[in-house]
Amino acid sequence: MKRTFTKKDIDIIAETLGVKPKFKNNNYRFELINSGNHNRLSLEIYPDIPIGAGKGNLITVYAPCSHLQLHFCTGYVVSEMLGEVTFIGESGGKLSGLIVEREAGCSLYANVERDILSGDFTTLGPEIMLSGVALSLAEELFEK
């Protein structure tokens, strides 16, 4: 599944995160600040740009102690209730998910077996269960 981010997608993400993006040449930049715990991060979405030998969406997060990228992002799902956006990439039956929170938090789950999302979470160890629960919101994005 290949998907290009549109202006409508950017507006949906902006509404969920509660911040307006700044368009900068070839990307949209969101700056998230949580004054309560002094967290801050920047999210950049590069729609349909050259990546290696192909073209795709690049999602980048800059935080004080980290720099995360999700290459060839194929989709996203928003949770208004949780105030977060989950960006998904899929390759070879494995998923990677980059979750950005309105409160300037971020999580990355890489190379997660797709079957974990629809399995019985109670049979998984807690260290594996967390990735399955976190990415299960995005299950609707995948072809059956």
Pull the structure tokens for residue 139. Answer: 């299950």
Tens-digit pLDDT profile for residues 47-104? 999 998 899 999 999 999 999 999 999 999 999 999 999 999 988 889 999 999 999 9
Q: Which residue has the higher pLDDT, 31 or 139?
A: 31
Q: What's the mean per-residue pLDDT of the chain?
A: 89
Coil/strand/helix, residue 47 = strand
For the stretch 100-113, pLDDT in tens is: 999 999 999 999 88
The predicted pLDDT at position 2 comes to 61
Helix H or strand E segment including 134: helix 126-136
Q: Are 22 and 29 in contact (CB under 8 A)?
A: yes
